[in-house]
Amino acid sequence: MKPSRREFIKISALGVGAASLSSVVVKAAEKTFFSNEEDNNSKEKRTSTYCEVCFWKCAAWVHTNEQGEIQKVIGHPDDPHSNGRLCPRGTGGVGMYHDEDRLKTPLIRVTDEKGKQTFREATWDEALDLIAKNLKKIAKEHGPECVALFTHGSGGKFWSHLLKAYGSNNISAPSYAQCRGPREVAWIGTFGEELGAIEPTDIRNTKCLVLIGSHIGENMHNGQIQEMSDAIDSDATIITVDPRFSTAASHSKYWLPIKPATDIALLLSWIHVLINEGWYDKEYVEKYTMGFEQLKAHVQTYTPEWAYGITTIEPEVIRRTAREMFNASPAVIIHPGRHVTWYGDDTQRLRSVAILNALLGSWGRRGGFYFGIETSIPGFPHPEYPKPTKTWRDAFPGQYTLADSALANGVCDATIPSASRDCSFKAWIVNGTNLIFTLPNIINTKKAIDNLEFMVVIDTMPMEITGYADVVLPECTYLERYDEIRVSKHRIPTIALREPAAPPKYDSKPGWWMAKELGHKMGLDAFFEYKDIEEVLEWQLNKVGSSLQEMKRLGVKVMDEGEYLLYLQEGEEMEFNTNSGKIELFATSFLDEGFDPLPKYTPHPEPPEGFYRLNYGRAPMHTFSRTANNPNLTDLMDENAVWVNPKVAKIWSLSNNQYVWLENQDGVVSSFPVKVRITERIRWDSVYMVHGFGHKNDKLSRANGRGASDSELITKVMLDPIMGGTGMRGNFVTFRTDKPENGGLL
């Protein structure tokens, strides 16, 4: 491994890097001091947390009244993720604590029928004994590698530790192959590094922000929205490419209502224009990149006129927007997006995005992408993990070779025995992910579950996935527990503490406790040699010059990481972690694995007659399926609607607020009807709905039967051959006004 840039600067270029502590750090450090003085005078009791309603992990203070009841959650002013303000979901996070439908005790399945939530209550001892017994049996009969963990959100570290100690490293999260994976692989192939969970986009300083199906404003990643609003205030040009008139589009100078599934054509024609007009950063390209000549030759036929025929975006608009990007460069961001698993050629689409940024010199530049910095906290000492003899990859020899994380869909597929696979999973531990709604192709997910010998689900709510478990472990909410220290890459290095604001309700327990207890029951005591998590946190914090006591007082601490720089310095030498040490416009690592080193446009199937492309996304007040039953957030929005263009509504004689069922190309009909919203904001060839609704689960009193589930209608998956991401936007739906006899897959 080559040194990271930060190490690189420390080692080789101190002269260049010695511009002393960034003023940002100094300002933030002052804020820490003042904000805590202020709050010390407050009468209310407050404890520190970071939000778990989504994965932006905003740090916050939780306020409790004299009776010890949680009242409200407020953004932490020193936190670069939130800058003291939470989004509506973060504020509504208290609803997770108050939700009376929560899981209350451990549960053990009583019938063989999966998916029906038929359980009896059990004690913790009994539930954990049963899990330990089954996992030991599977290790003996099939090897520990046949157990996989699916996890999303905090707590993942505790369960991963348990699984590795047990002897398996099959640990997957849906945030990879159902979300960010393709862009990370594209970035590694181009710049030699990942973007990471908090994208280092310098939006607040940008002069031009290009959003490609990235609907910031409905996608409520807090700091990002605040920065976008600052950028708009300072007259930055916003260019939004989206078949739907999104909230972001409504704030944009240019809205490009692209024909869905054709973005690569637009991106290639932008590259064509930038290169052929000479609108790129010649010095930067010369100094830091390789492959320019190959790229130039490659894009010659990709003219705006060519792209017009594919994308429906006028050539003049393509040229004008390319010029806007160049005028702003290097303070320009072609945003990499986040949920980018759309059409199966997603890694190549993101490669085009990476190339555009490289041509405009925005990587490592003010108003483009900054180099984020993170504190590293050592892990609590433990014996070496046993070495697993096989991993999920053995099920896919020669496939998805550039995937740099485990594929949740891969583990799911490899659970269904097949002659061509020698790795079939026998047990799943599922923590904090509602796989039934999260993985596309529900039929496949259920088939995999049917093949399991044993499944444990750790959740806070009785969600669809818990219905399939053999044992359900009720976790207390993030407001009632300690968790690992939050470290994240940002402009300033910070750490944040989550501590319980109230004791766990009912008989729920924190994840760290469950993993530790189970570890002991499985005979893995040597991996859990501490009394409780406070001991672990104290040890870790001491290692970085802090303490639990200090963190309880501060909540967020800005770390002194010495000298570092957010942007490339004038004339700075920089080596990138790629084969050539340069930014690779021509991706040699792709070529090495037999993939196109330069992105190409590939056409995708069109909707059949009478069908419309199923497009989905986020609503500001909800997160996936996890908030659909939240009392505070359902007050703001309690069902989704299907957006239909007026032209289409006319053909089908649909009226506003009418309920319809949706049927997809494979004859799957939504379990519930969904309200029609007629609007010019969606193209005539598509419909749109918010993901996370349409629960068929009477344990969820507010969410049950409300709206339709996009997950149910996504039966066709377009797999990305490069990294195995599950393209989900190749599904088409039509309308039904009659109630189907047996609709739905839920």
Ligand X SMILES: Nc1nc2c(c(=O)[nH]1)N[C@H]1C(S)=C(S)[C@@H](COP(=O)(O)OP(=O)(O)OC[C@H]3O[C@@H](n4cnc5c(=O)[nH]c(N)nc54)[C@H](O)[C@@H]3O)O[C@H]1N2
Binding residue for ligand X (CB under 6 A) from 6, 102, 109, 244? 244
User: What is the distance of C-alpha 171 from the center of its chain?
Assistant: 16
Q: Does 486 bind ligand SF4 (CB under 6 A)?
A: no
List helix spans (H) across 402-560. 408-413, 435-438, 442-450, 511-521, 533-543, 548-554
Q: Which does 536 bind (CB under 5 to 8 A by kind): Mo ion, ligand SF4, ligand X, none?
A: none
Taking residue 646's Cβ as centre, other Cβ atoms within 10 Å add up to: 14
- Cβ count within 10 A of residue 104: 14
Q: Measured over all CA atoms, what is the biggest interatomic distance in the chain, rounded to whole angstroms?
A: 74
164 binds, among Mo ion, ligand X, ligand SF4, none (CB under 5 to 8 A by kind): none
* Residue 207 binding ligand X, by CB under 6 A: no
Which residue number, 216 or 515, has a Cβ lying nearer to Mo ion?
A: 216
Q: What angle do CA 334, 340, 344 make, to 5 degrees?
A: 120
- Residue 53 interacts with, from ligand SF4, ligand X, Mo ion, none (CB under 5-8 Å by kind): ligand SF4
What three-state secondary structure class fits 158?
A: helix
51 binds, among ligand X, ligand SF4, Mo ion, none (CB under 5 to 8 A by kind): ligand SF4
Q: Which of 134, 205, 434, 665 is in the footprint of ligand X by CB under 6 A? A: 434
Cα dihedral 467/472/476/477 (nearest 10): -30
Shortest-Cβ-distance residue relative to Mo ion: 179
How many residues touch ligand SF4 (CB under 6 A)?
14
Q: How far apart are CA 37 and CA 35, in angstroms?
A: 5
Label the pairing between strands 718-719 and 726-727: antiparallel
Under the binding rule (CB under 6 A), the answer on residue 459 touching ligand X is yes
87 binds ligand SF4 (CB under 6 A): yes
Radius of gyration in angstroms for the set of CA atoms belonging to the chain, rounded to a whole number: 25
Q: Secondary structure of 425-466 in the HEC alphabet? A: CCEEEEECCCHHHHCCCHHHHHHHHHCCCEEEEEECCCCCHH
Among 297-305, 398-406, 432-440, 662-670, the segment contacting ligand X (CB under 6 A): 432-440
Rounded to a whole number of angstroms, the minimum distance from the CB of residue 483 to ligand X is 9
- Per-position x/- string for 218-247, each x denoting binding to ligand SF4 as judged by CB under 6 A, each - no binding: --xxx-------------------------
Tokens of 281: 């950063």
- Residue 195, interface with ligand X (CB under 6 A)? no
Residues 6+ apart with CB under 8 A from 33: none
Contact status: 59 vs ligand SF4 (CB under 6 A): no
Q: Is 229 exposed, middle or buried (0-12, 13-18, 19+ CB in 10 A)?
A: middle
> Which among 50-58, 485-493, 567-575, 598-606 is the span making contact with ligand SF4, rule CB under 6 A?
50-58
Is 448 near ligand X (CB under 6 A)? no
Select 623 or 671, whichever has its Cβ closest to Mo ion: 623
Least distance in Å: CB of 692 to ligand SF4? 13
Q: Site for ligand SF4 (CB under 6 A): which residue of 9, 25, 28, 53?
A: 53
Chain residues binding Mo ion by CB under 5 A are 179, 339
Tokens of 546: 């802090």
User: Rounded distance, CA 19 to CA 564, Å?
Assistant: 8
Does residue number 478 form part of the binding site for ligand X (CB under 6 A)?
yes
User: Nearest 5°: phi and psi at 605?
Assistant: -55, 145
Under rule CB under 6 A, residue 204 binds ligand X: no
**Three-point CA angle 224, 230, 231, nearest 5°:** 85
- How big is the CA angle at 508 (ends 117 and 442), to the nearest 5 degrees? 35
Q: Which stretch binds ligand X (CB under 6 A): 160-168, 364-372, 590-598, 609-617?
A: 609-617
Query: Which CB sits closer to ligand X, 80 or 692?
Result: 692
- Residues lying near ligand SF4 in the complex (CB under 6 A): 51, 53-54, 56-58, 82, 86-87, 89-90, 220-222
Interface residues with ligand X (CB under 6 A) are 52, 54-55, 152-153, 155, 174-175, 178-179, 212-215, 219-221, 241-244, 246, 258, 260-261, 263, 337-339, 342, 431-434, 437-438, 458-461, 463, 475, 477-478, 615-620, 622-626, 688, 691, 710-711, 714, 728-729
